[in-house]
Amino acid sequence: MLKKLPPIFKNFYFLTGIIFLLWMTFVDSNDLISRFNMSSKLRALQSEKEYYESKIVEVEKDRKELMTNKELLEKFAREKYLMKKETEDLFIIQVKD
């Protein structure tokens, strides 16, 4: 039976290397499949981080504008929080889809 095998499969170092590659590909806790999944998740998280960083810059810019411009602050308060002066009437129009 062993005489029919090519000599490369009888080599100790070849067999050890094959076993090592199989172990690192499928069995180990840091196998190639897990590393691929983790790297794809890392890319997704990095793109999400870039999105939120751009939103933070946008919100900080809006906040700075609101804190320096009284008219813009009043407009924001009226539109977002439905605030009004005592002498005004407020009508809310809701559009049904």
CA–CA distance, 47 with 58 (Å, rounded to integer): 17
CA–CA distance, 46 with 38 (Å, rounded to integer): 12
If DSSP codes are grouped into helix, strand and coil, which group holds residue 37?
helix
**Beta-strand runs (E) in 1-97:** none
* Residue 70 C-alpha from the chain's centroid: 37
pLDDT string in tens for the chain (97-residue length):
667 877 787 888 999 999 998 888 888 888 888 889 999 999 999 999 999 999 999 999 989 988 898 888 888 888 888 878 788 887 878 898 8
Task: Name the region of 60 (left: φ>0; alpha: ψ -120 to 50; beta: rest).
Answer: alpha
pTM over 0.85: no
